[in-house]
Amino acid sequence: MYTKEDLKACLARMGLKGTDTVLMHSSMKSIGEVENRADGVLDALIEYFADGLLVLPSMSYSLVNAKQPVFAVRDTPCCVSLLPELFRHRPGVIRSLHPTHAVAAIGKDAAEFVSGHEKFDSPAHPDSPWGKLYRRNAKIMFVGTTLHCNTFLHGVEEWLPVPGMLTDYHEQLVVYDYDGRRIEVPSRRHVGGHSKWYNLMEEPFRKGGALTEGQFGDAHTYIVDAHKAGDITYAVLKENPLFFSELFREPQK
């Protein structure tokens, strides 16, 4: 069974610093047995990055839509995994106000990092938290998961922009903030199922020095440098904007 200190040692061995900005995608089951279970994992992460910024996806894209348009920052659950759902309830954690692709953060500049996400009509605008990962030279951890869940790459596709990556219409969504204020957020969605092909970036990231690997408990872990990965992906998409989309098109008859 792993203790909190064991998990902190894993983070140190992977070269992560307590002052880093880190976003973590995760599978709790993959980590193995941990003292105090999921809470023990969160305790280790929050303590280790106390002088940095710890960010977890807090997305609700499968729960909030045109038919169910309300996102309440306090009440709407995450749809991604166990750790983010528990994390958003921790004291000091602040969740952004985007109705489908929110993030939750604690640590240095957390309030600034999540602020303004609701001002954009797309999930990963360059001035959203997903774009701030790039500018802050953040590390993105994939604990027991693969690069297919790399929401940051949706951002790179938006910034180019990749044609047809977003709907050409808006869903009229509603956000209720921490004070219960109602905010209208007309929103476009990502389309095309591009993330199923994001694993194709593993080798380019590795060659470009944007990807390292390690172990967090039992979980194999990828660590991606957001700035380097953003530049590598941008170059790939600049040459071929359909890199993630043409691969799954039905062959023409």
Nearest alpha carbon to residue 31 among 177, 182, 220:
220
Structure tokens at 125: 């605008």
Q: What does the mean pLDDT of the chain come to?
A: 95
Query: Which residues lie across from 9 on neighbouring strands?
Result: none
d(CA 37, CA 121): 37
CB atoms within 10 A of CB 213: 11
Work out the angle between the directed axes of helices 4-13 and 37-48 (0-180°, nearest 10).
Answer: 50
Neighbour count for residue 239 (Cβ, 10 Å): 8
- Considering Cα of 64, then 31, then 9, then 35, what sign does the dihedral take? positive
89: its two tokens = 């309830």
pLDDT digits (tens, 9 = 90+) for 108-156: 899 999 999 999 999 999 999 999 999 999 999 999 999 999 999 999 9
pLDDT above 80 (res 43): yes
Among residues of the chain, what percentage have pLDDT more than 70? Answer: 97
| Tens-digit pLDDT profile for residues 184-243 | 999 999 988 888 899 999 999 999 999 999 999 999 999 999 999 999 999 999 999 989
Maximum distance among all alpha carbons in the chain? 59
* Strand pairing class (219-225; 171-176): unpaired
* E strand or H helix that includes residue 251: none
Q: Which amino acid is at 201?
A: M
Please tell me the pTM assigned to this model: 0.94
Using N-to-C axis directions, what is the helix angle for 226-239 and 151-159, rounded to 10°?
50
pLDDT of residue 246: 63
Q: CA-CA distance, 231 to 133, in Å (whole number)?
A: 13
Alpha carbon 72 to chain centroid distance? 19
